[in-house]
């Protein structure tokens, strides 16, 4: 385990307690700016997680703990990321700004390069008297990417030597370094995510005199696909089948994938595809088990009535759709994310919401729920009204984008349509239009058909007018 200096001083030397406030906590003398009455926040972020859990209708992938979390609260069926890559997505939802504003369009540039001292989501809570605890991957990496002023406790973890051993294979014969799996020896706690869950449980046991904001950033199912062997054993290879592409699907636009990895994936055998699915599913079930340990402690300490629990994936993932085994595409599987929220007094048990929400909305929503005043420049909108009334009219669309060098890809998703537009210096190079009423897998591109000219023009205009005008018209702001 690696701990930064703030963690050492405040935890090892007993400077503060770092557990959760509960109704049974004994109040103590509060420091300057302390908030002794707000609810705790447990913010769970999972890397590369698409909607494959049981609560999203998949009977194959074993996620009993996320399924029980969904039964306890509100599950969103139409949640979308703003950029289907780790750093751009996290830079967006942790600042409350869209990628056009953050200008973070890859995994190399730190979140604050162009927005300066924008108050991030965890820093807002720290500035308002919360104890802030960050573990695992919240921002994209630590060297130069984290917001170190946001955390009272900031922890990362590493595999043990035992956790690095086991049966393994690179599914591309080494051509793509990350594309490998490891059915690891040892226990859950020989892996970073297992260690993080154990530490989170320890911290939840502590009592304190002011509320906490705890963010847990689980790495798996992100590559490399490493998890204890028992999770691989849950998925016999012969039971797994990749998606079947229709023979009459439209040709892919040249910008859809934008990666040389696509040629390597084209050579995947059925065995390779099955191993990829098994590896990804093993990571999902492994992370589900770790989240279950945290939820169990929430039960034991009776923390639900005092804690807002928000679970999200940072973006989706493709598992063979369009012959693509990764993310970073403007299609449903990459852009759509799982999202579940439980907030006593706000949500009801086992309810689904079919309205559009976006990850950029997380910041204003958590601030709203906790009575905090966020920065005035946030570009999302609080979806708190949906928690109690999930069928009320809301956003008409969600927006996602990617970058292919000088070529920009922008997507708008409405309840019936997905429209993608590829431009360079303002010139439209290609477009994709998919009708989810008849083609939910997005295989039939209608953009150049005469019958859909009007629809294409309307959606293209929506991309140009953008989310700001959409929000003003719908919410009166």
User: Which of 37, 55, 81, 86 does the annotation list as catalytic?
Assistant: 86
Tell me the mean pLDDT in the region 398-422: 97
| Stretch (H or E) spanning 308 | strand 307-313
| Number of compact structural domains in the chain | 1
Q: Determine the Cα–Cα distance for residues 312 and 403; give it in Å rounded to an integer.
A: 23
Of these residues, 37, 55, 81, 140, which one is catalytic?
140
Q: What is the average pLDDT across 268-280?
A: 98
Query: Looking at residue 15, what is its pLDDT?
Result: 43
Asked whether the predicted pLDDT for residue 32 surpasses 50, the reply is no
pLDDT, tens digit (0-9, with 9 covering 90-100), for 382-400: 999 999 999 999 999 999 9
Q: What is the pLDDT of residues 337-356, one digit of tens each?
A: 999 999 999 999 999 999 99
Q: Which of 44, 40, 58, 138 shows the shortest CA–CA distance to 340?
A: 44
Task: Spell out the residues 6+ positions from residue 58 whose beta carbon is closer than 8 angstroms to its own.
Answer: 51, 52
The answer as to whether 442 is a domain residue is: no
Task: Tell me: pLDDT of 461 over 80.
Answer: yes
The question of whether 165 is a catalytic residue gets the answer: no
Q: Is the backbone peptide bond immediately before 221 cis, with ω within 30 degrees of 0?
A: yes
- Asked if residue 82 belongs to a domain, the reply is yes
For range 321-325, the mean pLDDT? 95
The beta-strand segments (E) located in 114-211 are 131-136, 153-156, 166-170, 180-184
User: Does any domain span residue 468?
Assistant: no
Q: Is the pLDDT of residue 456 over 90?
A: yes
Contacts of 134 (CB under 8 A, 6+ apart): 122, 146, 150, 151, 153, 154, 155, 215, 217
- The pLDDT confidence band at residue 467, using thresholds 50, 70 and 90, is low
C-alpha angle 52-318-271 in degrees, rounded to nearest 5: 90
Whether 476 maps to a domain, the answer reads no
Q: Enter the tokens of residue 414.
A: 């409405």
**64, part of any domain:** yes
Per cent of the chain over pLDDT 90 is 84
Q: How many CB atoms lie within 10 A of CB 68?
A: 14
Band (21; pLDDT cuts 50, 70, 90): confident
State percent of the chain over pLDDT 70: 90
The answer as to whether 250 is a domain residue is yes
Residue 473 reports pLDDT greater than 80? no
Read off the pLDDT band of 174 (50, 70, 90).
Answer: very high
Domain range for 319: 2-395
Q: What mean pLDDT comes out for the span 176-203?
A: 98
Which residue would you say has higher pLDDT here, 2 or 249?
Answer: 249
For residues 238 and 243, give the distance between their C-alpha atoms in angstroms, rounded to a whole number.
Answer: 14
pLDDT tens by residue, 117-154: 999 999 999 999 999 999 999 999 766 789 989 999 99
Report the Cα–Cα distance between both ends of the chain, in Å, rounded.
46
Average pLDDT value for the chain: 91
59 pLDDT tier (thresholds 50, 70, 90): very high
The pTM (predicted TM-score) of the whole model is: 0.93
- Crossing angle of helices 64-72 and 270-301, in 10° steps, is 50
Confidence band, pLDDT 50/70/90 cuts, at residue 36: low
> Which residues touch 468 (CB under 8 Å, ≥6 apart)?
379
The answer to whether residue 86 is catalytic is yes
Residues 209-247 pLDDT 10s: 899 999 999 999 999 999 999 999 999 999 999 999 898
In a domain? residue 413: no
CATH code for position 256: 3.40.720.10
The answer to whether position 372 is within a domain reads: yes
């Amino acid at each position: 385990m690696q701990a930064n200096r703030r963690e050492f001083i405040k935890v090892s030397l007993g400077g503060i307690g770092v557990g959760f406030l509960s109704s049974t906590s004994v109040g103590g003398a509060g420091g300057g700016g302390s908030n002794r009455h707000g609810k705790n926040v447990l913010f769970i972020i999972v890397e590369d997680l698409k909607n494959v859990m049981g609560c999203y209708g998949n009977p194959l992938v074993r996620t009993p703990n996320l399924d029980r979390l969904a039964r306890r609260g509100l599950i969103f069926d139409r949640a979308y990321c703003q950029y289907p890559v780790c750093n751009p997505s996290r830079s967006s939802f942790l600042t409350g700004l869209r990628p056009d504003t953050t200008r973070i369009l890859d995994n190399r540039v730190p979140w604050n390069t162009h927005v300066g001292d924008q108050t991030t989501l965890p820093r807002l809570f720290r500035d308002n008297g919360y104890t802030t605890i960050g573990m695992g991957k919240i921002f994209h990496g630590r060297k130069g990417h984290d917001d170190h002023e946001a955390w009272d406790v900031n922890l990362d973890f590493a595999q043990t030597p035992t956790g690095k051993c086991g049966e393994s294979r690179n599914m591309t014969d080494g051509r793509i370094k990350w594309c490998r799996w490891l059915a690891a020896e040892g226990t859950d706690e020989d892996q970073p995510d297992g260690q993080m869950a154990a530490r989170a449980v320890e911290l939840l046991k502590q009592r304190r005199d002011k509320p906490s904001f705890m963010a847990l950033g689980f790495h798996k199912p992100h590559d490399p696909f490493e998890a204890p062997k028992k999770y691989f054993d849950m998925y016999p290879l012969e039971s797994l089948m990749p998606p079947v592409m229709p023979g009459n699907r439209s040709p892919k636009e040249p910008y859809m994938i934008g990666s040389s990895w696509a040629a390597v994936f084209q050579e995947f055998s059925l065995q390779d595809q099955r191993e990829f699915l098994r590896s990804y599913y093993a990571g999902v079930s492994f992370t589900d088990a770790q989240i279950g340990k945290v939820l169990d402690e929430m039960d034991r300490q009776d923390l639900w009535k005092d804690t807002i629990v928000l679970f999200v994936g940072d973006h989706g993932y493709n598992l063979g759709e369009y012959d693509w085994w990764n993310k970073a595409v403007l299609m449903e599987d990459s852009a759509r994310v799982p999202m579940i929220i439980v907030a006593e007094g706000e949500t009801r048990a086992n309810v689904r919401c079919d309205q559009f929400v976006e990850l950029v909305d997380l910041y204003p929503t958590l601030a709203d729920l906790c009575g905090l005043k966020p920065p005035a420049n946030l570009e999302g909108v609080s979806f708190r009204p949906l928690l109690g009334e999930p069928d009320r009219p809301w956003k008409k669309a969600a927006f996602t984008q990617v970058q292919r060098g000088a070529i920009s890809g922008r997507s708008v998703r409405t309840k019936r349509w997905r429209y993608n537009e590829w431009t360079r210096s303002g010139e439209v190079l290609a477009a994709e239009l998919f009708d989810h009423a008849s083609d939910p897998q997005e295989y039939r591109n209608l953009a150049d058909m005469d019958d859909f000219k009007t629809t294409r023009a309307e959606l293209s205009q929506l991309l140009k007018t953008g989310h700001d005008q959409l929000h003003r018209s719908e919410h009166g702001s």
